[in-house]
Amino acid sequence: MNRESDHAIKDQSIKLPERTLGSTGLKVSLLGLGGFHQCEVDSGIIEQVANRFIALGGNYIETARSYGRGASEIKLGNVLKPYRKKLVIASKTAMRDAENAWRELNETLNALQTDHLDLYFIHNISRMEDANAILAPDGALKTFIRAKDEGMIKHIAISSHWPAILPEIIDLVPFETVLIWGNYLDFCNYPEIPEQILPALRKHGKGILFMKPLADGYLYRSPVNAFRYALRHDCDCIVSGFNSLEMLNIDAAAIAEGPLNDAACAALLTDAPELGNYVCRQCKNCTVLPGSQGNLLKRLFELEGKFDRQMNDYRPVDSGTYALRQRLGGWFGNVERATAMYSENAAEFIKLSAASGLKPCRYHIDIPRKIRIAAKKLSGGNPAEI
């Protein structure tokens, strides 16, 4: 599907629905405007997109100090000032110490031309070292608490590229909202998100924002289905990096169509070109091996997903797909973690290569070949030798 030409909004009466963001009390549009890709277009285009987004009922706009070294904030600040009272504006800092977090917060407020942020994110808490640095006496949390007391920020939020850390810090870091991946590719690689993380966040009253609904652009062939898949899961807003009217129209139309039903979701997982006959869907009941062996097999492929998002299947592809895989496979920087987790149980994983009684995979994955490739990747070998 061509993101730019299909599913344009034909019904001009479409209005984006709102949801309450966890226990913050903030009302946010179900589609949010992400600022990362605003660095790629000029201010005139951003103005067109932002005006259209707001006209559709969009109010959640999110950026970061690091996006274009402040360029995203500056561009958005010039456009959003007249609408400020009706918007929920968020930005992020990756600073771990109080002094630099304070500096960045003030730079952000100046760039966005506002006296406060509705949400301010501690960006990418993915290791306990991050949390410990933030929680230190002169850590960034000191700035967040001060800024909240002074009315410079309304709510504290976090993002992460290692979802499993969230339950570990949920009682340590006083965040109210989380920005986390929400797409059908990465739910295959990080099944703990839908199965464990999202329910835990809801139990604690946290707001849930989905990022990367198109998996950093990898799902460009299936944008409408990608959004409608994300809507099946428990989120308050899907933040998308649309930076053209065509992209916005497609995303908003998908939101208006609502979530995929069970049959459509099953069809997507069967037919999605990005999953093909290689990516393990993490079926609850594996058809290839029974019981504990099936769970071990799924765990091996899950670790491969954490290694490179199961993108490299060592089969010929067109140059565009190859370039995307090379760029996006290691995007989250979890290679070392995946290999370490593999090594903890390597002996058991190796036994899978000799497992007997393998039954066909319902998604037509060549399981013996995939086992060999995953083991090579995770053990530091050369899968090209397969």
Q: How far apart are CA 362 and CA 280, in angstroms?
A: 10
Q: How far apart are CA 31 and CA 257, in angstroms?
A: 13
* 99: alpha, beta or left? (left if phi > 0; alpha if psi -120 to 50): alpha
Q: How far apart are CA 312 and CA 383, in angstroms?
A: 9
pLDDT by position in tens, the chain (length 386):
344 444 454 555 789 999 999 999 999 999 999 999 998 999 999 999 999 999 999 999 999 999 999 999 999 999 999 999 999 999 999 999 999 999 999 999 999 999 999 999 999 999 999 999 999 999 999 999 999 999 999 999 999 999 999 999 999 999 999 999 999 999 999 999 999 999 999 999 999 999 999 999 999 999 999 999 999 998 999 999 999 999 999 999 999 999 999 999 999 999 999 999 999 999 998 999 999 999 999 999 999 999 999 999 999 999 999 999 999 999 999 999 999 999 999 999 999 999 988 999 999 999 999 999 999 999 999 999 98
pLDDT reported for residue 4? 41
CA proximity to 104, closest of 59, 60, 147:
147
Q: How far apart are CA 222 and CA 6, in angstroms?
A: 10
Contact 260, 225 (CB under 8 A): yes
pLDDT reported for residue 3? 44
Q: Kindly give, in sequence order, each residue whose CB lies less than 8 Å from that of residue 372, ignoring residues fewer than 6 positions away.
A: 353, 383, 386
Contact 145, 179 (CB under 8 A): no
> What are the distances in angstroms from CA 218 to CA 205, 221, 302, 371?
31, 8, 18, 24
pLDDT reported for residue 356? 87
Q: How far apart are CA 295 and CA 254, in angstroms?
A: 34
Q: Which two tokens stand for residue 2?
A: 């061509």
pTM comes to: 0.94
Domains and CATH numbers, the chain: 18-269 (3.20.20.100), 291-385 (no CATH)
Contact 225, 198 (CB under 8 A): no
What is the number of residues in the chain? 386
Q: How far apart are CA 306 and CA 162, in angstroms?
A: 9
pLDDT reported for residue 135? 98
